[in-house]
Amino acid sequence: MRIKILLVVNFPTFKKSFYIIAKISKLGWLTSTFATNMAPQNKPRNDSKASADGNEPAIQRRNPSHIKNKMKRQLVMQTFRKEKKEAKKAAKLKRQRDAEELGEEAVPKMEPRTIDNTREEEVTMVSMEGDEEIDADERDDEFASIFNNEEVPKLMITTRPFPSGDLYHFIKDLMDLLPNSFYYKRGTFDIKEIVQFASNKKFTHLIVLSEKSKICNGMLVSRLDDGPTAFFKISNVKLTSSIKERGRRTNHQPELILNNFSTRLGHRVGRFLGSLFEHQPEFEGHQVVTFHNQRDFIFVRHHRYTFENDKKARLQEIGPRFTMKLRWLQQGTFDTKFGEYEWIHKQHQLDTSRRKFHL
């Protein structure tokens, strides 16, 4: 006697059904065979034709992975993106019309929360109205003679010993950026010897460039003769030759923009960078050098501007462009043994929050 039992097991996690056929004979042997049902499942369609009103649910339109046909799936996604873009544009036009109709009673524009506008308040933050104490300090600091046009900046640029050939391209661009700057070969002289040499030659500033992997990664700037001295980490260097549609530099004195230096330390660093330029700009040259501080990174840009009409101006970058980050600020000229540091960046002590900045 032989008995045949048909067991049908459906696995919901698989797309296929498996039929297990077991044969039990009176001799006691068991044989199992597996057959795969390749027929498609009769499930209700969830695409756009399945709905009664002809519109898909929003969740399916955002994720049309349930549609097996690739071309149909792409078409549904393209339609969704187009409708979303049109709805966004219509909402923007409606807000503009409402603002024009309401005038001063219009709802103010909401600003997103960013790290910049939610930064932690520093104790040394400087108010926009000014401070008498700060003004008095700046009238007598090391850069007062330059800001009062009593002294013309004269810069000496040198490098680390035995620099690579690629560093000279950055030096050339830096000399175009900084007026009245001169390059001197380093040789085997120590920095203290170079400081003395530059002071005897009546230079007002000394700039020493360092590099890694043939790319400038550090800049030491010293105010002669009495300091201070600052070291900046350099990153994101882009030479003038690699900037597309760049403008031509002229020999006019550029205008200077120092932006977002809001603490006592930031004011001092801003005046330090401002002392590299003569404060008698020649506006007919239409050139401007910008030091923009954002999250303690100082972005350096060199532009030329032209007025197309009474309301708009067009910018054309001259180059170079790079980013500076202050590592330490020292009183006096360069002295690693006995120099007194005004500020030094200690990451684990100072960088306690992402919203805390020092400049």
**pLDDT for position 138:** 81
* pLDDT band at 115; cut points 50, 70, 90: confident
Q: Does residue 300 contact residue 290 with C-beta atoms inside 8 Å? A: yes
Q: Which domain holds residue 291?
A: 132-350
| Mean pLDDT, the chain, integer | 81
Residue 64's closest CA among 55, 53, 77? 77
Cα separation, 326 vs 269, whole angstroms: 9
Structure tokens at 147: 């800001």
One domain for residues 32 and 155: no
Question: What whole-number distance in Å separates Cα of residue 128 and Cα of residue 328?
Answer: 26
Tell whether 197 is covered by a domain: yes
**What is the pLDDT, as a whole number, of residue 128?**
66
pTM given for the model: 0.70
Domain CATH code at residue 172: 3.40.50.10480
Higher pLDDT, 283 or 18: 283
Query: Predicted confidence band at 292 (pLDDT cuts at 50, 70, 90)?
Result: very high
pLDDT at 95: 86
Does 299 score more than 90 pLDDT?
yes
| pLDDT score for 130 | 66
Residue bearing the bigger pLDDT, 314 or 29: 314
- Structure-block tokens of residue 271: 């005046």
Q: By CB neighbour count within 10 A (0-12 exposed, 13-18 middle, 19+ buried), where does 282 fall?
A: middle
- Per the CB < 8 A criterion, the answer to whether 21 and 35 are in contact is yes
Q: Give residue 142's pLDDT.
A: 87
Q: Is the CB of residue 232 less than 8 Å from the CB of residue 291? A: no
Give pLDDT, residue 114.
86
From residue 228, alpha-carbon distances to 48, 92, 141, 199, 231 in Å are 71, 52, 10, 14, 10
Amino acid at 12: P
Residue 215 lies in a domain: yes
Does residue 46 lie within any of the structural domains? Answer: no
The verdict on residue 159 lying in a domain is yes
Distance between start and end Cα atoms, the chain: 94
Same domain, 33 and 139: no
Say if 303 falls within a structural domain.
yes
Asked if residue 359 belongs to a domain, the reply is no
What is the arithmetic mean of pLDDT over 285-310? 91
- Give the CA radius of gyration of the chain: 35
Rounded distance between C-alpha atoms, residue 268 and residue 141, angstroms: 9
Establish if 110 belongs to a structural domain.
Answer: no
Res. 28 pLDDT band, cuts 50 70 90: very low
Same-domain check for residues 26 and 150:
no
Crossing angle between the packed helical segments 264-274 and 132-139, to the nearest 10 degrees: 30
Residue 136 three-state SS: helix
CA pair distance 81, 61, nearest whole angstrom? 10
- Give pLDDT, residue 11: 47
160-184 pLDDT, tens digit per residue, is 988 998 999 999 999 999 999 999 9
Residue 200 shares a structural domain with residue 314: yes
Number of domains in the chain: 2
300 Cβ contact partners less than 8 Å away, ≥ 6 residues apart: 177, 289, 290, 291, 320, 321, 322, 323, 324
Half-sphere exposure of residue 184: CA atoms within 13 angstroms, side-chain side: 19
pLDDT over 50 at 33, yes or no: no
pLDDT digits (tens, 9 = 90+) for 311-324: 888 889 998 999 99
Structure tokens at 313: 């101006």
Position 348: which residue type? H
pLDDT above 90 covers what percent of the chain? 37
H/E run at residue 349:
helix 347-350
pLDDT digits (tens, 9 = 90+) for 34-67: 333 444 444 444 444 444 444 444 444 467 888 8
Indicate whether 149 belongs to any domain: yes
Q: Residue type for 72, please? A: K
Regarding whether 9 and 151 lie in a shared domain, the answer is no
Same domain, 25 and 145: no
The pLDDT tens digits for 70-110 are 999 999 999 999 999 999 999 999 988 888 888 777 777 77
Q: Are the C-beta atoms of 14 and 7 separated by less than 8 Å?
A: no
Kindly state the tokens that stand for 219. Answer: 């800049």
Note whether 234 and 216 are within 8 A (CB).
yes
- Say if residue 178 is in the same domain as residue 295: yes
**Which helix (DSSP H) or strand (DSSP E) does residue 186 occupy?**
none
pLDDT score for 32:
38
Q: What is the pLDDT of residues 270-285, one digit of tens each?
A: 999 999 999 888 998 8
